[in-house]
Structures are given as C-alpha cells and as structure tokens.
Chains A and B, each alone.
Chain A
Amino acid sequence: MNGPDETLIRIRNLHKRFGALHVLRGVDLDVRKGERIAIVGSSGSGKSTLLRCINFMETPSEGTIELDGEVLGSEVRGKDGKPARKYAESELCSVRERVGMVFQQFNLFPHMTVVENAMEGLLTVKKIARDAARARAVAQLNKVGLADKLDAYPAKLSGGQQQRVAIARALAMEPEVLLFDEPTSSLDPELVGEVLRVIRALAEEGRTMLLVTHELGFAYHFADRVIFISDGVFHEVGTPDEVLKRPQKERTQAFLARFSEFIF
C-alpha cells in the first residue's frame, strides 16, 4: 500500500435517514492517509450520502466519524432518550476546512471570477491577505491548466473548465482529504477526460481521496480500494481487481454487467 499506514478517517456504524427513507444502514470505514478509495453503486444506493456525511453536508443520523483520531461532535441525549450526537457550527467549519469537496454541479460562485472563486475560502476562512491568497489560487489554477482564465466568469467556461476551477478552489485550501462527488457526471462526454486527468495527477501526488463515480474504468486505475455500495451497506469491498474484475457477490456482478461493455 502507498503512504504510511495511519488512519485519517474512521467511520463507525454510520446511519442516515431522510424521514422514513433509510439511506445509509450502518457503515464502517477506515481511510488511511494517502489512500484512494473509489465508491461505486447504483443511483440511490447511498454512495453520495456517505461522502456528504464525511464533510457534514448531511448530518449523520447515527454513528460516529473520527478525523485524525478525534471523534467529531459531542454526545447528547436525543429526543427519544437515546444518545445522539450534536455538532457545533464551529467544529463543522473546521472539519470542512480540512476535508475538501468537489461537487457534481461544480457549485462555483457565478458573481466571482475564476481566481476570486479559488481565493474565496483563503480570504474568508483562512483569513489570508489578498496578495498571498491570490498567489496560492493562481498556483492551483495553473496546476489544473487554467492559468489563462483567471479573470473569466464561470458562465463563460465549459463544464470541464468549471469543474477544474472547482478542484483548484478545493485544493487552494490545502485539505487533508478530498471528496469527489460524481465529478464528471454532469459533463459532456468529450469533457470528462480533462477532469479525470486532473484527478489522476492529484492521485499521483499521494493525496487522500474518496471518489464517488460511475466511471468504472477510471475507478479501476485510480483506486487502492473499491467499495460497492448497495441499499446503504458495503456490499463488496476490495482491491480494484477483486471488486471490478472478479466480484464474488451476485449483486456486484449484476451491477458490473450493466457496465461491462464499456470497461477494460
């Protein structure tokens, strides 16, 4: 395995309910520093919800998340008398500062230029001076190949370019983990490649990354570990070869069969 064998994120018995809908049904996961994990599964299986729980875009209904040895939130008595967890706004903000996220819909700020988008977190969250923030933002934009678009507004960019800005924006915060939530799902097919190349380059730097994707071919080459989620539980977990080439379970096989004509 790459990198030191040190657990950065430890998830225990994670549940997420949306009203009556029980999306995550008890998930355990250890993410080591430098590890790259691809999460695959059908729509509605809970893979995005899992990712969104890690940086608290969704509040877990049950279970604990540990970041670098620290269990997040504090235990309180819930409405039903059972123990529940409460998360302070300040704690969540500092967690999100350390856990970057890239969204399917980019979520760039349309009223800011490319470089302003990448500077925003540095200015407001890290309180870095303007000049230094700009330098850091430019360096990241350079890395994703957009140094010539600094003063363009997002609306003038292609989807692939917008997603690369979003990646630069996340990178500028120097997060310890990067979460990618279907980063290429809303892109035209011919734009997928440029985004995946950027993600692969990041992988080669040894960053800790979790990727939810439908690009199984990319997942195969990208990941140290592949998780197949089905009905809110980990159905099959292993190396890319184990899960994507020689799946043991029927559901994984059925899922892959639907993709098989496109991969490998």
Chain B
Amino acid sequence: MDYTWDFEVVVRNFPVLLRGVVVTIELWVLAFPLGLALGFAVSLGRISGKSWLNAPAIAFVEIFRNTPVLVQLIWFYYAFPIILGQQLAPFSAALLGLTLNTAAYCAEIFRGGIQSIVRGQWEGARALGMTYAMTLRRVILPQVGKHMLPAFTNRGIELAKVTSLASILTVHELMYQGRLLSSTYYRPLEILTVVALVYFVLIYPGSYFSARLERKLRARD
C-alpha cells in the first residue's frame, strides 16, 4: 500500500469539527433526559391496567423499536410540513426523532424494571395507605434504579452514536462537519478516523463512570 496518510488538513480544520462536537453534545444533552422522562411516562401507560393508556403506549413503543432511526428522522423532517403545515428546522426534527426513539427504548427498560419487583412490595406500601405515585417513588423505583443503570447506560451510548444520523438532515453536528471536510479536501480517511476518535473520547468516559457507579452500587448490597 502506498497510501500516504496526511493529517495536516484535519489539524488545520479541527475548529470546524469542534463546532460539530458542540451540536452533537446539544443533541445528546436534550434528547437523553427528554427521552428518559417521556419513556417513564410511556412505561406507566404500558403497565397500566387501563386499555386507553395501555394500547397507545404499546403502539408507540413498537413503532419506534421496529423502524430504523434513520427513516424516523427523515420522516419527521418531511412529514411535519405536510401534517402541520409548518417546516421543522433540521435540528428540531432530529431532536424530535431522537427523543421519541430514546423514549421508546427507555419505556421498555422502565417497564421491565418496575415489573421485576414482586407484588408484595406494592401491597406492603398500599396497605399503609400510600398512593400509587408514592409507592412508585418511595418503594419501587429505589429498588430497581441500580438494576436499570446498565440498560440506561447502553441507551445513552447508543444515542450518542445515533446523533450522527442527524447529518442526513443537514444538522451541523460532528458527522456532518466531518463529511463536509471530506468532500472539501478529499481526505475522507484521515477525517473520519479523527471523527471516530472524537466520538470515542466523548462517549468512553460515560461508560467508564457508569461501570464504576454500578460496581459501587453492587458493593452496597
């Protein structure tokens, strides 16, 4: 192989990538908590005995789990103006798609966690006169939190990577900036290598600290 690697162009244009990093972080920082919160709400519908809550929750989860994220993002971008008569900014469309997708997965994690707690715990709390909400908050969730942590970490990591799909909607995040540089300087290999490294540096600390937290929680038992 006589390919000569040349990273000079990446070094020179690193600020361009950094601007993309800021947008990638923005997407993640908004979509993850929003997805968690919405996912929690959906999981409550999912475990509810009332079919008018249950049915839409199941439909929501299944639609978002069983279609590609890429399709979802593009769909939101193009379908919104048709349905609501209002164009959605690329960033908003991407954020919406990523949030709903994250919510669908988180709903399943919450549901699995909540349902793993034996009925007796609900009864013990309810027999004291505690409401459904009190029981959930004080008795059920504290017991499942640490079991759900690995699954939520996975979701967070997955989301961080999936934000790169927003580049398709011309959101100027890291992947988009990388592709922009690639097509300008014809050095896709060097540029994508650095883009991959930057993703790694962004994501790895999250999984590292989550693993540590997990060990700490487990040691407490």
Measured CB to CB, the residues of A under 8 A from B are: 55, 57, 89, 93-97, 100-101, 103, 105-111, 120-121, 124-125, 166, 169-170, 173
Contact = CB atoms under 8 A, between A and B. Distances in A.
Contact of A173 (B125, B129, B131, B139): B129
B123 A120 contact: no
A121 B138 CA distance: 11
B132 A124 contact: no
A109 B125 contact: yes
Given A124-B134, A124-B138, A109 B128 contact: no
Interface string B97-135: 000000000000000000000001101111111111010
B129 A108 contact: no
Interface residues on chain B, size class: 10 to 19
Nearest to A96: B129
Contacts, number: 62
Instruction: Report, nearest first, the 7 A-B pairs whose CB atoms are least far apart.
Output: A107-B124, A97-B129, A121-B128, A107-B120, A101-B127, A125-B129, A96-B129
A101 B125 CA distance: 10
A64 B139 CA distance: 31
Given A105-B120, A107-B120, A110-B143, A57 B138 contact: no
B15 interface: no
B142 interface: yes
A55 B123 CA distance: 11
Interface of B: 120-121, 123-132, 134, 138-139, 142-143
B143 A94 contact: no
Contacts of B132: 89
B150 to A, nearest CB: 18
Given A124-B134, A124-B138, A108 B124 contact: yes
Contacts of A125: 128-130, 134
Contact of B127 (A89, A94, A100, A124): A100
A169 B124 CA distance: 10
B126 A57 contact: yes
A50 to B, nearest CB: 15
